[in-house]
Structure 1
Amino acid sequence: MPRDEPARGGFQRRLLLIFGMQLVAVVVACLMGYYNVAPAAAVLLLIVIVSALTWLATERAWRQVSTLAQWVGNWKEGQPDLDAIQPERLRQTDSDIATLARGFHTFASRIAGYNERERNFTRDASHELRSPLTVIKMSTDMLSDEAGLSDFGKRSVQRIRRATREMEALVEALLILAREADNGQGEQDFVVNDILRDELANAREMLHGHPIELQLEEPASFALHGSPRVFAVLCWQLIRHASQYTGQGIVQVTVTPGMVSVSAIAGSEQEHPPAPGQRGFEYAIAQRISERFAWPLSLHVQGGNRYVAEIRFPKPLPVSA
């Protein structure tokens, strides 16, 4: 232990000394009044003075704790400047408070470093991953317009195009999850039914060639305040997961008041349909997005082969005219 560092537990000992001296002074004053050594008014005045001195001494000892509490209260997670919470700014304090100050400064430094790495990663990943995908999309569009392209070449171009769109959706989902400090994602009011229609049109194109039919049932309609892109990515992950579950057949998306469900029936050729616990990568991404944005997600299997995923929205909005 450094020579100038107070012994651990000094704060507690100072409080014990202060209140111990107060107790002794009050007892002495009471005895003086009991044996008529001093008048009652003087005894009361002495007790008041002792109590006031005790409060002042306690307030001075507690001042460092109040300073530390003010640091914690004023600290913001994204605050890059940590000079204001340097432990050295606490003068003449005991090692207990100094340990708390150093621990808080270390924690804040780690959070600041994490936020910086997060910003760098999302910025670099957004550029370095999206740019090649854009080049691939443009190349496939130009290649599909080539005259004399064989049927095999056309099918290959379509597969590349679908794989590129799936990769775009995956990159978008991962970037959404990576942005820990940015839950806004361009929040606005949007109609759930409109987003689902567009998403199912894109999903049909990406699932082209697979024996899967996508259906949208709309017995209700409602709106949400949030990011339509996040909602679309969440629904696509569930549609993709349901498509992999069923293998072939119908994947149905149903809109009910305050809830969207994705259901499918495992194909008859699957002797052993996936169990509910085998949720896969797509469902894991969907579940993390639902947790991030407080949209509860549940998955269960009915009748042994009917897959049902339900997303509930605690604060649905009416569809405006």
Structure 2
Amino acid sequence: MSSSSAAFRRGAFHRRLVLIFGLQLVAVVIACLMGFYDVAPPLAVLALIVITSVLAWLAARRQWRPVSALARVISGWNEQQPDLDSLEPQRLPRHSDADLAELARGLHVFASRVADYNQRERYFTRDASHELRSPLTIIKMSTDMLSDEPALSESGQRSLGRIRRATRELEAVVESLLILARESDNGQGEHDFVVNDVLRRVLEDAREGLHGRAITLQLDEPARFALHGAPRVFAVLCGQLVRHAGQHAAGQGKVKISVLPGAVEVSGSGIGRATNDASHEQGFELAIARRISERFAWPLEWGGDDHEGIIRVRFPHTVPVTE
């Protein structure tokens, strides 16, 4: 047994409490007997009982001090700047209870793993952001240059269009995954933005992604409101829902996006059939949308029937539009 282990004895805290309150009980009994046999006046007996109780309380409070110190460390814990040394069992007072030392040791191991996880998360998202976005940028530049080639055949133009659509879809996927991978990511660049304006840009990108399919995207704006947050996150959420609706629309379908007071609705044929099954997690787009809605407290609701379904996103905290 090491010296550090020898200093921490299991059950020491309970034994000391038993000793403290046992001595208090003996002192109270003696004081009561002294008063009963008129050995001491009642005021002296009362004073002795009060003094004994105060001393017992101070002694018990001193035994509880290491627990209070550990609780203060946990309550003031900063995940961004963790002080792992403060959870070292060696920082506890000598002869602390072994159970408290085990608790401190377990918290130290857990905090170390969380700190390592946060560091790996930062490294991964930083590298992934660079390594994934750089090739996408090169692909977009190359397709723009190829589109200006006059000698490009019709089949080449179609292939170029497919490459562009696949690139935009991959950009949306990368953007979504990077937002969800960063636990502390709030979308960056928070400010007030009008959802109607962002939705128009989302639909423009969606139309390009659905190029070649006879699907109509319609924006209905019976309301107009703003949000305080990151437009990028809002655009990714709505873009995933529109992509999901477009992929499940059959034939010459129509997908309608409606801006309602404090909500955005996406409706179309095939949505109800896809979302009313299992746990509403059919499809990668819906899985991403659900996780973003949970992260930013924008609840998703499903409605409609097998013919036409509705996905509604509610925004509890809206901002009035000032123009």
TM bucket (normalised to shorter chain) is over 0.9
Taking only aligned residues, the RMSD between alpha carbons, in angstroms, comes to 1.7
* Residue aligning to 1:251: 255
**Size of the alignment, in residue pairs?**
316
Q: Mean alpha-carbon deviation: is it higher for 6-15 or for 84-93? A: 6-15
* Residue aligning to 1:61: 63
Cα distance, 1:65 vs. partner? 0.5
* Residue aligning to 2:6: 4
Partner of 1:298, secondary structure, is strand
1:210 aligns with 2:213: yes
For residues 8 and 129 of structure 2, what CA distance do their matches in structure 1 show? 51
1:116 aligns with 2:113: no
1:243-299 deviation per Cα after TM superposition (whole angstroms, max 9, x unaligned): 1222331000001000001000139xxxx9546226211100000000000000122
Q: Is the 8 A contact 1:11 1:96 kept in 2?
A: no
Q: Is the 8 A contact 1:242 1:307 kept in 2?
A: no
TM-score when normalising by structure 1: 0.94
Alignment of 1:17-28 (within 5 A): 17-28=19-30
Partner of 2:136, secondary structure, is helix
For residues 295 and 16 of structure 1, what CA distance do their matches in structure 2 show? 54
Alpha-carbon distance change, 81 to 60 in structure 1, aligned in 2, over 3 angstroms? closer
* Residue aligning to 1:79: 81
Aligned AA for 1:311?
A: V
Partner of 2:55, secondary structure, is helix
Alpha-carbon distance change, 15 to 184 in structure 1, aligned in 2, over 3 angstroms? farther
Alpha-carbon distance change, 273 to 104 in structure 1, aligned in 2, over 3 angstroms? closer
Partner of 1:4, secondary structure, is helix
* Residue aligning to 2:136: 133
1:42 aligns with 2:44: yes
Note the residue ranges of structure 2 that are not aligned, 5 or more in a row. none
Aligned AA for 1:178?
A: A
1:200 aligns with 2:203: yes
Q: Is the 8 A contact 1:79 1:112 kept in 2?
A: no
Alignment of 1:121-270 (within 5 A): 121-248=124-251, 249-266=253-270
Cα distance, 1:13 vs. partner? 2.4
Give runs of ≥4 in structure 1 deviating > 6 Å.
none
For residues 89 and 48 of structure 1, what CA distance do their matches in structure 2 show? 35
Cα distance, 1:303 vs. partner? 3.1
User: Identity over aligned residues, as a percent?
Assistant: 63
TM-score when normalising by structure 2: 0.93
Note the residue ranges of structure 1 that are not aligned, 5 or more in a row. none
